[in-house]
């Protein structure tokens, strides 16, 4: 039948609009394919502005015209290779756009090592002991005045320090000697300026530390730091120099990190519990409206079924993270926003699986109870509900498990729970603390996962 068509016209049509010639010859699918290819290549050309693409576009355009011309004559052109090349081109652009660089995976291995080790072994951040601190201090006038201060009296029988001079200019070196400290232990040198601000003295970029000898004595040289605003540097003022030796002692106990983590993981569990509970309460009645086998008895009920299904599907397609952002704006930061976000998603998700369990029930009892003269409500209560209780419980437990996992993410946008801590610690590069949170999540999720699968096993 192609013979009746004019080859020249077909070719011209395809030259005018790609694919039109093929459509004119009756092969609409091939026409659409040509048009799509040209549009895609054209789109890439506009976006990437690469000259190579212009040639490919022109080549395809002409190929389409040639193909239409040949086709009208009853012949055929080989199209597989050009189309494969076009597909290859799309992949090339995609590769470039997503910045795929496999070598980075190799090069970056060193960078993730501290992160991975901190996260895998966060025990140092989880537990702590109380610190015993030995200090000794002395005055320091900077710069020297006509009447330099005398050394502060050092308490008897306690650690003592002695400075080579109680006054010095900024940048001048002084010698610090100490006695009576804990033997063979590291110590730190601190500076306190006239208004009481303390800081760890640095020398050449390093914190100034020392180590006591077997008798608990040490000697160290230090430079006078600039510890006042620039315009006050020439006015003699009284500073203090302080030496600290400290070590942990006593029993191990939970660190603040661990305490916070436990508090927040409990919040997460309760958040998930509330979200799941609200979800079940709302999803339960809705599921009856979304069950086709219960709702197909009249056009009105059928339209309720379709509406309910549509609302459930739309709600479910919106990620909990988006819901969390909406509710954070709506009710403010905190666990309530997270609860609402997860509750909404749970309603949609449970509404679907609940109604599907209704659709999957044995219809025999419904028939039998209807035949006894029971009304619709009675039939549902006696023939449907006993059949759906086990799957409902199983799905609800499973959902709680999912909600705990999701609430860790919800926290990242301010919806409460442990996610907030996790994202905060990661941003502060406190990977050990983040590791504590990650472990807490992993432990809770795996316990819930295990118990929910056990419960489901028993019920389904």
Q: How far is CA 321 from CA 278, 316, 372, in A?
A: 18, 12, 49
In the bound state with another protein, the residue whose beta carbon lies nearer, of 49 and 372, is 372
In the bound state with another protein, the residue whose beta carbon lies nearer, of 206 and 372, is 372
Min separation Cβ 370 and another protein, Å: 6
Neighbouring residues of 52: CB distance < 8 A, sequence distance ≥ 6: none
| Rounded Cα–Cα distance for residues 352 and 359 (Å) | 11
In the bound state with another protein, the residue whose beta carbon lies nearer, of 142 and 383, is 383
Min separation Cβ 383 and another protein, Å: 6
| Rounded Cα–Cα distance for residues 260 and 257 (Å) | 5
The enclosing H or E element of 224 equals: none
In the bound state with another protein, the residue whose beta carbon lies nearer, of 80 and 371, is 371
Residue whose C-alpha is closest to residue 31's, from 69, 82, 68, 3 = 68
| Rounded Cα–Cα distance for residues 21 and 10 (Å) | 4
Answer whether 66's CB lies under 8 Å from 77's CB: yes
| Rounded Cα–Cα distance for residues 386 and 459 (Å) | 13
Largest Cα separation within the chain, whole Å, is: 118
Residue labelled with tokens 């693409």: 53
Min separation Cβ 361 and another protein, Å: 10
Min separation Cβ 379 and another protein, Å: 8
In the bound state with another protein, the residue whose beta carbon lies nearer, of 222 and 287, is 287
Q: Which SS3 state, helix, strand or coil, does residue 78 take?
A: coil
Rg (CA), the chain: 38
Min separation Cβ 380 and another protein, Å: 10
The secondary structure of 254-314, three-state, reads ECHHHHHHHHHHHHHHHHHHHHHHHHHHHHHHHHHHCCHHHHCCCHHHHHHHHHHHHHHHH
Min separation Cβ 289 and another protein, Å: 18
In the bound state with another protein, the residue whose beta carbon lies nearer, of 397 and 410, is 397
In the bound state with another protein, the residue whose beta carbon lies nearer, of 66 and 382, is 382
Min separation Cβ 359 and another protein, Å: 17
In the bound state with another protein, the residue whose beta carbon lies nearer, of 312 and 366, is 366
In the bound state with another protein, the residue whose beta carbon lies nearer, of 336 and 382, is 382
Which chain residues interact with another protein by CB under 8 A? 362, 364-365, 367-375, 377-379, 381-383, 386-387, 389-390
* CB burial of residue 135 (10 Å; 0-12, 13-18, 19+): middle
In the bound state with another protein, the residue whose beta carbon lies nearer, of 15 and 393, is 393
In the bound state with another protein, the residue whose beta carbon lies nearer, of 39 and 302, is 302
Answer whether 411's CB lies under 8 Å from 422's CB: yes
**Which residues lie across from 282 on neighbouring strands?**
none
Min separation Cβ 389 and another protein, Å: 8
Min separation Cβ 309 and another protein, Å: 22
Min separation Cβ 399 and another protein, Å: 22
Residue whose C-alpha is closest to residue 181's, from 131, 249, 248, 243 = 243
Min separation Cβ 357 and another protein, Å: 13
Neighbouring residues of 355: CB distance < 8 A, sequence distance ≥ 6: 286, 287, 288, 289, 290, 291, 292, 309
Residue whose C-alpha is closest to residue 273's, from 342, 209, 214, 225 = 342
């Amino acid at each position: 039948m192609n013979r009746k068509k004019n080859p020249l016209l077909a070719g011209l049509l395809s030259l005018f609009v790609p694919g039109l010639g093929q459509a004119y010859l009756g092969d609409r699918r091939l026409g659409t394919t040509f048009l799509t290819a040209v549009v895609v290549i054209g789109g890439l050309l506009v976006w990437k502005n690469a000259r190579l693409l212009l040639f490919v576009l022109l080549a395809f355009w002409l190929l389409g015209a040639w193909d239409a011309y040949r086709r009208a004559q009853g012949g055929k052109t080989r199209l597989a290779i050009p189309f494969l090349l076009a597909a290859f081109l799309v992949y090339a652009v995609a590769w470039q756009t997503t910045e795929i660089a496999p070598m980075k995976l190799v090069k970056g291995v060193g960078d993730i090592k501290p992160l991975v080790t901190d996260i895998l072994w966060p025990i140092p951040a989880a537990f702590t002991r109380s610190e015993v601190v030995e200090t000794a201090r002395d005055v320091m006038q900077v710069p020297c005045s006509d009447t330099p201060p005398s050394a502060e009296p050092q308490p008897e029988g306690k650690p003592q320090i002695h400075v080579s001079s109680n006054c010095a200019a900024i940048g001048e070196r002084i010698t610090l000697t100490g006695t009576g400290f804990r033997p063979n232990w590291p110590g730190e040198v601190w500076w306190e300026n006239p208004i009481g601000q303390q800081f760890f003295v640095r020398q050449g970029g390093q914190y100034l530390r020392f180590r006591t000898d077997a008798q608990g004595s040490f000697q160290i040289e230090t430079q006078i730091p600039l510890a006042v605003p620039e315009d006050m540097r020439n006015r003699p003022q009284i500073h203090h120099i302080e030496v600290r030796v400290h070590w942990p002692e006593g029993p191990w106990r939970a660190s603040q990190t661990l305490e916070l983590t436990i508090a927040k993981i409990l919040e997460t569990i309760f958040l998930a519990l509330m979200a799941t509970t609200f979800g079940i309460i709302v999803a339960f009645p809705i599921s009856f409206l979304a069950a086709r086998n219960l709702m197909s008895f009249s056009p009105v009920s059928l339209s309720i079924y379709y509406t309910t299904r549509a609302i459930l599907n739309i709600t479910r397609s919106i990620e909990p993270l988006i819901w969390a952002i909406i509710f954070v704006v709506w009710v403010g930061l905190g666990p309530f926003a997270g609860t609402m976000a997860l509750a909404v998603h749970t309603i949609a998700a449970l509404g679907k699986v609940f109604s599907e369990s209704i659709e999957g029930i044995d219809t025999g009892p419904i028939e039998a109870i209807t035949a006894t003269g029971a009304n619709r409500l009675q039939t549902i209560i006696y023939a449907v509900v006993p059949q759906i209780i086990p799957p409902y419980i199983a799905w609800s437990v499973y959902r709680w498990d999912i909600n705990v996992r999701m609430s860790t993410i919800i926290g990242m946008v301010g919806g409460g729970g442990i996610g907030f801590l996790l994202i905060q610690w990661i941003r502060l590069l406190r990977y050990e603390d983040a590791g504590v949170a990650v472990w807490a999540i992993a432990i809770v999720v795996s316990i819930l996962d295990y118990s929910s699968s056990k419960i489901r096993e028993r019920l389904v």
